[in-house]
Structure 1
Amino acid sequence: MSLTEDAVRAELAHILDPDTGLDLISANAVRAVGIDGQNVALALQWAYPAKSGQPALIEAIRSRLAERLGAQAVSVEIQTRIPAHKVQKELSPLPGVKNIVAVASGKGGVGKSTTAVNLALALAAEGASVGILDADIHGPSIPMMLGISGKPDSLDGKTVEPKIAYGLQAMSIGLFLGEDTPTIWRGPMTTQYLQQLLTTTRWQDLDYLIIDLPPGTGDIQLTLAQRIPVSAALIVTTPQDIALIDAKKALKMFEKVEVPVLGIVENMAVHICSNCGHADAVFGEGGGARMAEQYGTELLGQLPLQRAIREQMDAGTPTVAVAPDSPAAAAYRAIARKAAAKLSRQARNKSIGFPNIVIQNT
């Protein structure tokens, strides 16, 4: 077959993006095709961060064009441009933030905050600009998990600067109160402070702001769903039946307020014995998959029950940041890519548009 632009595009229609399941043509990822003799130059554009998956994709492109069309050299330039996506009716995206993603659970003790922190770090590792807001006013844990402390700076006396940890922009009430001071507030004060914390923080050009919600479906969750411009949510649960009952309530709450649910993350899915390697499903198995099927959503991935993850979070050295080559970090990054890829297919918000562009030449 002759090496023409049409022939190249026809072959690219057979190469799938593993995170969206779409071929490169259907995904509108091919921006330009250049032909010079037997050499091909491609310009691709991604709408979500997928740095770790791109080398394998580039190799697949090169192999197919060489085998099918006889291309001698194939250069691929990948541009990542993450857009703002649609939020709830009558709300507009927050200044400096393209997409807010809420991480929720129906009950406590399922590892939601651990998951939120590591998913935020995974999105950053994949190439996005990411922040995290600790919305658990009564039990903030993000400062400890990220190893940050001290009151945030204010340059103008009206707004506060986010703390920076492992490349994340972070904010939590725990930074103002300290570890030992309880938050003894009623619902209206709690929700008012959450909004204030969100809107007075000077977030800087974030592709994603991860909000770590407290467990349950109370005042904080309803305030976020009704007054804060949320692009999507994801639900964290364990396979245990009692956790799944509450996780289903959280999922249904987002459905009722028309916030899309990207999927379910099943935490503590299996424990691998560090001595003998035996795999034990301590909290049962298959619960996340059954819930996803029942509610027409996706099981984004499963995470292990692992002592190292707990120790790393307690020490303020989260897994994805300090053990990036570990199987657990790879699982977090795979879930982050899937979630971001699914969000990339939702309707976009046309009211703002400030591009974040990363170019990779290979």
Structure 2
Amino acid sequence: MVSEKEILGVLSQIIDPDFQRDIVSLGFVQNLKIDEGTVSFEIELTTPACPLSPQFKKQAEGLVGALPGVGNVNVTMTARKRAPHFEQAESGLGRVKNIIAVSSCKGGVGKSTVAALIARTLAGRGIKTGLLDADIYGPSLPTLFNLHHPKVYSNQQQRILPVEADGLKLMSFAFLTGDGPTVLRGPLVSQYIQQLLHNVEWGGLDVLVLDLPPGTGDIQLTISQSIRIDGAVIVTTPHQLSLTDVRKGIQMFEKVNVPVLGVVENMAWFACDECSKKHYPFGTAGAKSLEEKFGLETLAELPISPNLQLEYAEETADAVIRALGRQTLENQAVPEVSFDATHITLRWPDETVRVENTVLRKACSCALCIDEMTQKPILDPADVPDDIHAEKVGTIGNYAITVDWSDGHNTGFFPYKTIRELSIS
């Protein structure tokens, strides 16, 4: 009869490309049972929407089924259970497994379109998905789905039932009030947001996508304080005016303890009808600039197009969900930070990085040190004092640090990648 060691041995050949480790060492293989010639086990992934799930299942069935003595292989794909998304005892979010926020600090960058793109794509794969339009003043969901006057009902528990369309559960404040303008003060806005979050019967969703309003105001604060958001995606365009606002979004989510999964760069390019060549009207350095400045992954570069094609929808949804999975497993990857008169040191369990204060200060790429339109240096290295040192150092997620310098400068982000490149060998 086949042994557990033999089964785990062949399953260790399945490598997760996001972690570059096998599924056995990652702890994904659970509840392994051997009953004569029948082998049963679970593969517990980081998220129920993981796009690698069908691939892993097929590989596992083939590898284990090829072992001598194995007649049947039963593989069940599951997902890791997470902490509740809310503090209230009663909430319509009770059975929602993952919540992803889609945000931008500037309007007009296509944030709502990207949120709908992600939600539609996940629903099209059979993943139970909801989309909440959290913009009270300028809701976009009715236009995106052509649902301007839907009938909205409530159940016996007086919870609002989402409107269903395109395989999605949808909710927007506009469904309740119509197409007229919303004129409300801050406290009332917060009350309505709480209603949309907790008094909607979302049911057993795998993913709820939150389409946040642009900016960093009351709505974002209310949502982040009342529920746990698993990850945020920031949507921008390659233009420098939009890239500048990415920093504000990162800082906002850091203050409310929401991990940023990465950036979607919308309207980055277009394909010429005559030559089919990609053209970048704002230049090709947008994504690279984001990664260099903030240490965040660019999840997708989307074209200027009236209808985002299926191939970009699939790629974007895959990138977001896989980033969520990586964040789930690597949530602890924040270094211990120390600093003195000459150096800043970052320590991980398996790595230590040390960089000179003067070197790091001169490498600052914020708007006060680098012209954001021309990318030419503003800071003269000769103006940096020889005795420059950090007075305070903070971490931004698991990708960067901020520094309050002794010369009064405190607006720079320093990604771990940059610090490693500048570190003392």
TM-score surpassing 0.5? yes
Equivalent residue for 1:345?
A: 329
Q: Give distance in 2, aligned partners of 1:333 and 1:126.
A: 11
Q: How many residue pairs align between the two structures?
A: 328
Alignment of 1:193 with 2:177, yes or no, is no
Equivalent residue for 2:169?
A: 169
Larger deviation: 110-119 or 14-23?
Answer: 14-23
Q: Which amino acid aligns with 2:248?
A: K
- Describe the SS at the equivalent of 2:22: coil
- Describe the SS at the equivalent of 2:261: strand
Residue 140 of structure 1: CA displacement?
A: 0.5
**Structure 2: where are the runs of 5+ without partners?**
333-425
Mapping of residues 321-360 of structure 1, within 5 Å: 326-345=310-329
Equivalent residue for 1:314?
A: none
Aligned CA distance change for structure 1 residues 279 and 76 (closer, same or farther; 3 Å)? farther
Q: Give distance in 1, aligned partners of 2:273 and 2:143.
A: 26
- Describe the SS at the equivalent of 2:263: strand
Normalised TM-score (structure 1): 0.77
- Describe the SS at the equivalent of 1:308: coil
Aligned residues with identical type, % of pairs: 38
CA contact (8 A) 1:40 1:71 kept: no
Larger deviation: 222-231 or 200-209?
Answer: 222-231
Equivalent residue for 2:81?
A: 83
> Could you give the per-residue CA deviations for residues 100-157 of structure 1, whole angstroms, max 9, x where no partner exists?
3211111111111111112122333445322111111111111221233324112348
Residue 96 of structure 1: CA displacement?
A: 3.3
Mapping of residues 287-326 of structure 1, within 5 Å: 287-309=286-308, 326=310
Alignment of 1:128 with 2:127, yes or no, is yes
Residue 40 of structure 1: CA displacement?
A: 6.8
**Structure 1: where are the runs of 5+ without partners?**
310-318, 320-325, 349-362
> Could you give the per-residue CA deviations for residues 240-273 of structure 1, whole angstroms, max 9, x where no partner exists?
2211111220111110121111222222232222
Larger deviation: 48-57 or 106-115?
Answer: 48-57
> Could you give the per-residue CA deviations for residues 294-314 of structure 1, whole angstroms, max 9, x where no partner exists?
3343322332322323xxxxx
Higher relative contact order (CA 8 A, sep 6+): 1
Equivalent residue for 1:114?
A: 113
Q: Give distance in 2, aligned partners of 1:73 and 1:255.
A: 51
> Could you give the per-residue CA deviations for residues 222-255 of structure 1, whole angstroms, max 9, x where no partner exists?
2222233323222111222211111220111110
Equivalent residue for 2:276?
A: 277
Q: Give distance in 1, aligned partners of 2:50 and 2:258.
A: 27
Equivalent residue for 1:97?
A: 96
Equivalent residue for 2:378?
A: none
Q: Whose helix fraction is larger, Structure 1's or Structure 2's?
A: 1
CA contact (8 A) 2:29 2:44 kept: yes
- Runs (4+) of structure 1 exceeding 6 A deviation are 62-67, 69-74, 90-93
Q: Give distance in 2, aligned partners of 1:297 and 1:43.
A: 33
- Describe the SS at the equivalent of 2:75: strand
CA contact (8 A) 1:140 1:172 kept: yes
- Describe the SS at the equivalent of 2:164: strand
Equivalent residue for 1:358?
A: none
Q: Give distance in 2, aligned partners of 1:76 and 1:303.
A: 39
CA contact (8 A) 1:230 1:259 kept: yes
Mapping of residues 24-173 of structure 1, within 5 Å: 24-31=23-30, 32=32, 34=34, 43-50=42-49, 52-58=51-57, 60-61=59-60, 75=73, 77-81=75-79, 83-85=81-83, 94-148=93-147, 149-156=149-156, 158-173=158-173
Equivalent residue for 2:242?
A: 243
- Describe the SS at the equivalent of 2:250: helix
Q: Which amino acid aligns with 2:78?
A: T
Q: Which amino acid aligns with 2:171?
A: M
Equivalent residue for 1:215?
A: 214
Q: Which amino acid aligns with 1:174?
A: A
- Describe the SS at the equivalent of 2:264: strand
- Describe the SS at the equivalent of 2:97: strand
Which entry has the higher C-alpha Rg, 1 or 2? 2
Normalised TM-score (structure 2): 0.67
Q: Give distance in 2, aligned partners of 1:284 and 1:70.
A: 57
The CA RMSD measured in Å over matched residues stands at 3.3
CA contact (8 A) 1:238 1:268 kept: yes
CA contact (8 A) 2:265 2:301 kept: yes
- Describe the SS at the equivalent of 1:152: coil
Aligned CA distance change for structure 1 residues 152 and 57 (closer, same or farther; 3 Å)? same
Larger deviation: 289-298 or 330-339?
Answer: 289-298
Equivalent residue for 1:323?
A: none
Residue 28 of structure 1: CA displacement?
A: 1.4
